[in-house]
Copies of this chain bind each other. A is one copy, B any other.
Amino acid sequence: MRDVAVIGTGKTAFGAFADRDLRSLAVEAGEKCFRDSSVWPSQVESFFLGNFAGPSFTGQNHLAPYVSTALGMTGIPSTRVEDACASGGSAFYHAWREVASGMGDIVMVVGVEKMTSRSTAQVTEILAAAGDMDTEGRAGATFPGLFAMIARRHMYQYGTTREHLAAVAVKNHENGALNPQAHMRKRITMEQALAGRPIADPLTIYDCSLISDGAAAVMLAPLERVREFTDSGARVLGIAQASDFVALDQKQDITTFPALRAAAARAYGMAGVGPRQIQFAELHDCFTIAEIIAMEDLGLVERGRGGYFTAEGGTRRDGPLPVNLSGGLKSKGHPVGATGVAQICDVVKELREGRELGLAQNLGGSGATCVVSILGRV
């Protein structure tokens, strides 16, 4: 297995862009990535597109060649990967695998979602299809409802409080306010977060990530070739994808995600590092409770301590373990298929600015898919 490097990234701003379609977003991110990596379209050997529900959101399917040809690539394998909200992470995982195995040298990943052309009710319904429609869907459950149950149970088992959840939101909005590409660049106070409009008790509007349009792109190459392309590449030290039941009722304990733990164990093992060595992380905060559980399942804090640690400032920009320096899904935005790829872009950005070891964690549904990636400086 070869070492793999990220040799370039590209991102659109995340937001609600009435005048932009899926393809133009994907092309913008892809072209930025070409420039950043000094790669020409003709050099790319394989293309992966992470997209969750383009056909439902936009009416367009067969999205991989629809995007890759618009970026100037024909003849190569061009494949869409769908794994709910982990579609981007999964696309990155499969691209990494292609380079790591030696099957290809220059492999490109784009993640994209165009969501805001639908009403919030329609979006919620389309997102609900990432749960088990035979059971959860039939019962009327949507993701805010499922994660509200998870939050409630976490509160019961570990004493997590509304203030703990709100602390995640306040911190992520603080970070997002500093990110020029974030969807909602707005600081919020603890009082605001606690007084948010209820969505699914105990979650308020401030506990839920945003509905966004956006795209992100990453170029991969063997580590040994990184200097041909860039002086600021990042190295993929460890990566893994794992799966679990789609329906919450099939889980033994809904406050922990076995797929997340499995992916984390494999990624740490491959990287040869443990949670204590991770300096910063981009975590999948689709809901505030999800960030807390991710920290616990990744071993970054003790089981049940995620809320307390957050409330104590542990994950703030100036804390011992900054989480979601980008603003996270909460403030940066969550164009579903783009999210997992954007997390990699955001980790690479921090590495380029001086940090040394970061982790990205991308979750699908209520934990049925998880991808964990650990990156370091070249």
Contacts and interface: CB of A to CB of B under 8 A. Distances in A.
A53 interface: yes
Q: Which of A21, A68, A74, A243 has the most CB of B within 10 A?
A: A243
A64 B244 contact: no
A129 interface: yes
A369 B243 contact: no
Interface in A61-107: 61-66, 68-69, 73-84, 90, 93-94, 97-98, 100-103
A279 B241 CA distance: 40
Interface in A227-261: 240-246, 250, 258-259
What is the copy number of this chain in the assembly?
A: 2
A62 B258 contact: no
Interface residues of A, number: 63
A132 interface: yes
B23 A78 contact: no
Given A60-B132, A62-B130, 8 more contacts: A23-B134, A52-B61, A60-B133, A62-B84, A62-B365, A68-B243, A69-B244, A97-B98
Interface of A: 1, 21, 23, 47, 52-53, 55-56, 58-66, 68-69, 73-84, 90, 93-94, 97-98, 100-103, 126, 129-134, 137, 240-246, 250, 258-259, 262, 364-365, 368-369
